[in-house]
Amino acid sequence: MYSSQPTCSVLPVTGMLVAAAATAGATAMTGLALMMVFFVIVENQAKTALNYVLGVALAMFAGFFCMAFVMPQLGDFIQLALLLGIVLIPAGIVMSIPKYSALATAFSAFFASQVGLSNVPSFDVATYIDNSVGLLLGLSAGAFAISLILPYDPDTTRRREWAEVVAALPAAARGERAEIGARVPIQLALLKLMPRLDLTIHADDEILTGSFGAASMSLELVRLRKRISHPAFPAAARDAVVVCLDALAQDFERLVQVEGRSARAKIVDEASTAVAAARASLASLPMAAATANAIALAHALASLRFIADRLDIDRAFLTRTIS
C-alpha cells in the first residue's frame, strides 16, 4: 500500500547526499526512515512528525550543552544520574500529556543517545555537528514529504478497506476460492489499516469487528458451496442453497456499487431474506435420523444460520457510509 510512495522522498535525499559527498549520509537516511514509520502507522502524521523533529532538535541542543559544559565538571556516576534525572524526569512527565507525547518521547530518546554515555566520555564537536545536521536533514525531508508529497486521508483509507472487504464476499459465495484461502483478501485489507485503528473510537471498532465478521462469513460461504456439491446432499436442497448463494453474491456486489446507508440497508435486507428462504426450504425437507442426507442438511442449515447471524450482527458495518 505504501511501498511506492516513500520512494518520492528517499530518492531525492539519497541523490543530494551522494552529490554532496556528505559524511553523515547514513544518519540522514536513518532520520528519513524514522519519518516514514510515522507515515505508515500514525493517523495525524504531519503534526506528529513535526513534534518529533522538534523534540530531536531540542535533544541535540541540550545534549551538546551537557557534553560541552556540564559533563566535564562531573566527578562520578551519582552526579551523572542527577543530571539525567533533572532532564529526563520532567520529560517523562510531559510524555503523559497526549498533546506533547511525541515531542517528549523524541527528546528523551535522543537526549540519552546524543549525550553519548560511556565510561570514557569523548567529545568531537565536528562529528557531533555533522551527525546532528545529517539526522535533522533526514527528519526534515521526511516531515516535508509527509506534509506535501505523501498526503494521507483517513476517510479514504477506511472507505477503501470497507470496499475491499465487501468486494471479497461475492467470490466466496460463488465458491471461486479454496477454503484455506477464503479469508485471505479480507485479512490483507484489514492488515493494511490495522496500525491506524483507534479502538477507543466506535467507528474504528466497528471496522475491526465487521471485517473479522466478514472474514468468518466468507469462510462459511465457501464451506456451504463445498457442502452442496457432496453427492449425499439432496438435490432439492441443493437448488435452494444455490439460489441463495447466487443472490448473496449479487447483493454483495451491489453493496460496493451503491451509495448511501439506506440503499445498502435495503440490499442487506434482501440478502437476509434470501438466506431465510433457503433455511425455510431446507427445514421443510424430511430428515431421517443419522443418515448422510440428514447430516448434510444439518451442516447446511448451521452454515445458513451463521450467515444470517453475521448479516444481522455486522449490519452496521455492511451498510456503513464513511465520510
What is the pLDDT at residue 43? 61
- Which grid cell is 42? 500514525
Neighbours of 231 (CB within 10 A): 6
Q: Is the Cβ–Cβ distance between 13 and 138 less than 8 Å?
A: yes
Q: Kindly give, in sequence order, each residue whose CB lies less than 8 Å from that of residue 29, ignoring residues fewer than 6 positions away.
A: 10, 13, 14, 17, 138
d(C-alpha 134, C-alpha 129), whole Å: 8
Question: Which of 239, 149, 222 shows the shortest CA–CA distance to 184?
Answer: 222
What is the pLDDT at residue 20? 43
What is the pLDDT at residue 266? 95
- In this prediction, what percent of the chain has a pLDDT beyond 70? 82
What is the pLDDT at residue 129? 78
Does the pTM surpass 0.75? The reply is no
The CA–CA distances, whole Å, from 159 to 65, 121, 156, 174, 203 equal: 49, 54, 5, 24, 12
Domain definitions of the chain by residue range: 7-149, 154-318
What is the pLDDT at residue 233? 85
What is the pLDDT at residue 103? 85
d(C-alpha 275, C-alpha 227), whole Å: 16
What is the pLDDT at residue 26? 65
Place of cell 551523572: 80
What is the pLDDT at residue 302? 93
Question: Which of 99, 47, 57 shows the shortest CA–CA distance to 39?
Answer: 47
What is the pLDDT at residue 137? 80
d(C-alpha 101, C-alpha 306), whole Å: 44
In the predicted model, residues of the chain with pLDDT beneath 70 are: 1-26, 38-44, 116-123, 146, 149-152, 288-290, 321-323
User: What's the number of CA atoms in the CB half-sphere (13 Å) around residue 74?
Assistant: 19
What is the pLDDT at residue 114? 75
What is the pLDDT at residue 253? 94
Quick check: helix, strand or coil at residue 288? coil
